[in-house]
Structure 1
Amino acid sequence: MLKKGRIFVSWLTMTAVLLSFGGLAAPFLPRLQFLPALLAANVLVIAFILIVTFLCGRLYCSVICPLGIGQDAVYWLAKRRKKNRRKFAYHREQRWIRYGILTAVAISLLLGISLVPALVDPYSIFGRIVTDILAIPASYAWNGLAGLSSGWLPIISKVDILPLVVPAAVMAGVYFLILAILSWRYGRWYCNTLCPVGTLLGTVSRFSLFRPVIDSSRCVRCGQCEKICRSSCIDVTHGTVDSSRCVDCFDCISICPKGALTVFRHGREQGAAERTEAKDATEIREPEGMSRRDMLITTAVAAGTLAAGLARSQTLIPALLGTEKRKKSVLPPGAVSLADFSQHCTACHLCVSRCPSGVLTPAVLENGIMQMGQPHMDFTRGYCVYNCNFCSQSCPAGAIHPLDLATKAQTKIGIARYAQFHCLITREGIICGNCARHCPVQAITMVENRDGRSYPKVDGSRCIGCGSCEYHCPARPAAISVSPLRS
């Protein structure tokens, strides 16, 4: 029942997260992801995850993290192949790799650099895979369904399919291939060796109260649990389970022929095992194979990462990255500044997937290498819809602050600038006026010049920088373009 319950809840989570990226459900579950909650200083979510981990181990990794659930799906497919009956074996914890990556993430968070955490954060990786590569075939499938059901289910309408952003798609494709191969061959190796969230929660789960344990009086050393453990954390020889790497899949409990593997409160029921003979039943012991010194170091690194995420520097970013000289892109409405945006954004691309016009797109080097992958406004692909605030309502990391529709409609994100020598009326004598017709705030008017022709004029006090004028301008390069408010 534990295994079936875990599978049921995990697929409910996966469905809800995918619907959030598809714009069909409110983005509630993305706010429960660990790194975005840490960057947004969402103390309640962080406390909830840590308490659950202390009580029951790494349930977060098996029922909340979408990348972990996706890896379990790949592993399930691998098990279906008769030629790929993967048998695992116990491997010692790669502690230096795990805590080395976690230390790098802690230092990056302290300096206000979100690029390093974004590269290894499981939720952000999942978001980029879904948005940058899987969204295209999903959109075609949706449009096909809309075409078939147009006569009897009118609520399904077709969606616009925008072209891929090649650099973002290539990066997401590389992640997808690597993780698929690792999951197919090695189960949860990424989660227990590279993932900083898994390492941090693993530190807490070393002391979890309820965890899978082996009753040595029942165990016959058949090795079935060790062979099926996708985390490679069960050591049948010594009768131990490394709770820092166990992701609570409960496969071992369901396969044990003697019922020797059960979930008990550590220090009481496990006191009947051979390992507790010399210990008091209520004493919290050091993990198997870990000295007291190592335990203190790893705990300090995990606590330091939490502290660094909650106390990011607000002054080192401009000096280290030169962001004051790289403000070339217009930021989404709700972003305070490029420095604040870059400190919080994990490049999960949830805002990109929910943007109805496609104006939000992953940056390459527009804002510098440290902001690579973070979204920016590309007015050649779309424009910021006047009565839309989806991006500000969906961001789980606090990079885009929530705005109600009335506030968003008055928020200036840029300023339109007119270049007369690019305009069609100057180059070819064609009277256009597209920019004035499509401006939602009537900031552009057509003013007659001495030559008898009417040219666009931008009222900077009314312009909000939505980019509708640039998007609808037929001239190439556009005669009117939007620039950031700060140069």
Structure 2
Amino acid sequence: MLKKTRIILSLAFLVLFTLIFIGIDGFPERISRGAAYFQLVPVIISVFGAFSAAALAGFLFLIVMTLVFGRIYCSTLCPLGTFQDFFINLKKKKKKKEKFFRYAKDHKLLRNMFTVAVFGMFVFGAGFLLIIFDPFSIFGRFVSGVIKPGIEPLVRGVESAAAGFDIYDTPHIRMHPVSVFAFLFALISAAAIGITAFYKGRLFCNTLCPAGGILALISRFSFLRIRINRDACNACGKCEVVCKASCISIKEKKVDFERCIACFNCIDSCPENGIAYSPGIMLKNSAEKAEKGEKRRGIIRAAAAGIAFLLPGRRLLAEFSEGPVPRKPTLPVMPPGAGSLEKFNNLCTACHLCASACPQNVIGVTLFGYGLSGILQPKLDFSKSYCLYDCTVCTEVCPAGALLPLNTQEKRRSQIGIVHLEKKNCISYVDGEPCTVCTEHCPVKAVYSVNYKGVLAPEIKPEICIGCGACEYVCPAVPYKAIYVDGNAVHKRAGNPDGTRRRGEWYEEEKFNRPGRGRNRGSNGDVFPF
């Protein structure tokens, strides 16, 4: 019964998070954000990096759940854990006992040292290890960067077929820009974890997973735990070969509960009811007490080693983070709600949930655009689309607090970037041909039209620009855009477009010789021309 319940819950959460990262139009953002609060690493970052009451509630829930039930998070709530179980089940299809699992020595030193290093570097402002190894982010990158592009042709085919029958309300998947590197990185990461799971079970969860490292320490004090009844056990070994965590030693008749992920396979496989999930304090003999003392010393050694690892790490990271930020050709534009580059880099785990949720598909991924500490973090890609004037979806779904929620009025005045005009690339200035497509699409008229030698041409008012990228997206100039947006390292509040004087602005009335009408009108900020 316990195993069946675990399977049902794990599949339910797997489907839920898959749908969230695929990005189906109309999928409630509240569900996306709420479900993410059940993921350990994002809520830790949200609580200690950008505090929110909802994240604190999720964090306390996960801690209490582990203290009571053990690491059931790893077997039910973690989508990457269920992803690994798929490969483990493929192994079971061989039906050869020798191909299953055996008890393996615990890599406690590696796990504790790596956990200290990952979160220690995060505290010191270097979160790239957390980005790479956070299980929720790994799963998110795989679904949004590999699965979603793979099923897009199928979905488009279904939509076309349905349209032939006058059915137009089929689910629509939002596609966002995916670079070749992001695709390969997501694919290789998932494949490596899947292959490891096939041969070694949940080895990743008990060595390199930062969530697993924290939960292993907490589960040592769990109220309920799996234990072997030495009197009832006949040492048949059936529990050991189905243990995905390789934490059951049938020779010593013990379970290493720090590594146990509470999958309950062992209980289901035991023919003698010699293994149970029960409360109580396990009595230890002198040898076990000695082993416990050695474990404590191991934790201390791991912490010391982790701190020692951090010292040169901080010097190494300083060479990247304190130097010039790589620009191609400008600083990437962070999504709304990021606040500042420093905060965004520190809190974002690159799960790409914001990219999946974006209705405009403008949020893409940059490799080293933010430097080493911001590897694979999202940016706005104005070559693909633009940011809607009133849209706040990405700020509502971020589970780690890297993007803080904005209301519509705040979003309209949030300056995430600054417009730049390169007149040497502009059709109006170079070719003498009127082109005002950028001015027609700016929601705040930070780009407006002027009369240049009898030709309509664009001019800019950077102080009221919000950095939405609509002008850059529609600019027809090739091979280089005549107008582009440079990201702000610190998001600012844009000037009020209403009543702002725009020097030399051309008005429709001028061709009727009525130059005084309509001057200094500005944008009312309520109508977006798209």
Q: Name the TM-score, length of structure 1 as normaliser.
A: 0.88
Choose which of 41, 46, 53 in structure 2 pairs with 1:40. 46
- Please say if residues 175 and 356 of structure 2, whose CA atoms lie closer than 8 Å, have aligned partners that are also in contact: no
User: Could you report, residue by residue, the CA deviation over 1:390-435 in whole angstroms, capped at 9, with x for unpaired residues?
Assistant: 1101111111111122221221111111111101223333322110
Alignment partner of 1:331 is 2:334: yes
CA positional deviation for 1:288:
7.3
Report the Cα distance in structure 1 between the residues aligned to 2:441 and 2:288, rounded to whole angstroms: 65
User: Could you report, residue by residue, the CA deviation over 1:173-223 in whole angstroms, capped at 9, with x for unpaired residues?
Assistant: 110211111111221111112212112101111221111111111111100
- Please say if residues 91 and 100 of structure 2, whose CA atoms lie closer than 8 Å, have aligned partners that are also in contact: no
Please say which of residues 81-90 and 68-77 is displaced more in the overlay.
81-90
Alignment partner of 1:74 is 2:87: yes
CA positional deviation for 1:317:
8.8
Q: Which residue of 1 aligns with 2:442?
A: 439
Report the Cα distance in structure 2 between the residues aligned to 1:36 and 1:227, rounded to whole angstroms: 33
CA positional deviation for 1:324:
7.0
User: Could you report, residue by residue, the CA deviation over 1:348-388 in whole angstroms, capped at 9, with x for unpaired residues?
Assistant: 11111112222211112222122110111221121111121
Amino acid at match of 1:154: Y
Q: Which residue of 2 aligns with 1:31?
A: 37
SS in 2 for 1:464: coil
Mark the CA change 1:76 to 1:48 in structure 2 (over 3 Å): closer, same or farther.
same
- Please say if residues 174 and 357 of structure 2, whose CA atoms lie closer than 8 Å, have aligned partners that are also in contact: no
- Please say if residues 58 and 248 of structure 1, whose CA atoms lie closer than 8 Å, have aligned partners that are also in contact: yes
- Please say if residues 78 and 84 of structure 1, whose CA atoms lie closer than 8 Å, have aligned partners that are also in contact: no
- Please say if residues 177 and 381 of structure 2, whose CA atoms lie closer than 8 Å, have aligned partners that are also in contact: no
Report the Cα distance in structure 2 between the residues aligned to 1:486 and 1:163, rounded to whole angstroms: 22
Q: Which residue of 1 aligns with 2:520?
A: none
Alignment partner of 1:362 is 2:381: no
Runs of 5+ unmatched residues, structure 2: 48-54, 307-315, 491-530
User: Could you report, residue by residue, the CA deviation over 1:265-305 in whole angstroms, capped at 9, with x for unpaired residues?
Assistant: 132xx66xxxx5x59xxxxxx97773325326638978x99
- Please say if residues 176 and 364 of structure 2, whose CA atoms lie closer than 8 Å, have aligned partners that are also in contact: no
Alignment partner of 1:202 is 2:216: yes
CA positional deviation for 1:81:
4.2
- Please say if residues 57 and 247 of structure 1, whose CA atoms lie closer than 8 Å, have aligned partners that are also in contact: yes
Report the Cα distance in structure 2 between the residues aligned to 1:440 and 1:355, rounded to whole angstroms: 19
Report the Cα distance in structure 2 between the residues aligned to 1:152 and 1:262, rounded to whole angstroms: 57
SS in 1 for 2:484: strand
Q: Which residue of 2 aligns with 1:217?
A: 231
CA positional deviation for 1:162:
5.2
Report the Cα distance in structure 2 between the residues aligned to 1:402 and 1:166, rounded to whole angstroms: 30
Alignment partner of 1:294 is 2:295: yes
SS in 2 for 1:416: strand
Report the Cα distance in structure 2 between the residues aligned to 1:423 and 1:357, rounded to whole angstroms: 26
Report the Cα distance in structure 1 between the residues aligned to 2:235 and 2:422, rounded to whole angstroms: 79
Report the Cα distance in structure 2 between the residues aligned to 1:392 and 1:380, rounded to whole angstroms: 22
Aligned residues: 463
Mark the CA change 1:387 to 1:57 in structure 2 (over 3 Å): closer, same or farther.
same
Choose which of 425, 430, 439 in structure 1 pairs with 2:428. 425
Alignment partner of 1:154 is 2:129: no
Q: Which residue of 2 aligns with 1:458?
A: 460
SS in 1 for 2:415: coil
- Please say if residues 128 and 375 of structure 2, whose CA atoms lie closer than 8 Å, have aligned partners that are also in contact: yes
Mark the CA change 1:57 to 1:288 in structure 2 (over 3 Å): closer, same or farther.
farther
CA positional deviation for 1:475:
0.6
Q: Which residue of 2 aligns with 1:6?
A: 6
CA positional deviation for 1:159:
4.2
SS in 2 for 1:412: strand
Q: Name the TM-score, length of structure 2 as normaliser.
A: 0.82
- Please say if residues 88 and 197 of structure 2, whose CA atoms lie closer than 8 Å, have aligned partners that are also in contact: yes
SS in 1 for 2:416: coil
SS in 2 for 1:167: helix
Choose which of 104, 108, 111 in structure 2 pairs with 1:91. 104
SS in 1 for 2:99: coil
CA positional deviation for 1:229:
0.7
Q: Which residue of 2 aligns with 1:283?
A: none
| Coordinate RMSD, CA, aligned | 2.6
SS in 2 for 1:455: strand
Report the Cα distance in structure 2 between the residues aligned to 1:209 and 1:173, rounded to whole angstroms: 38
Choose which of 195, 207, 227 in structure 2 pairs with 1:193. 207
Runs of 5+ unmatched residues, structure 1: 280-285, 306-315
Amino acid at match of 1:235: S
SS in 1 for 2:471: helix
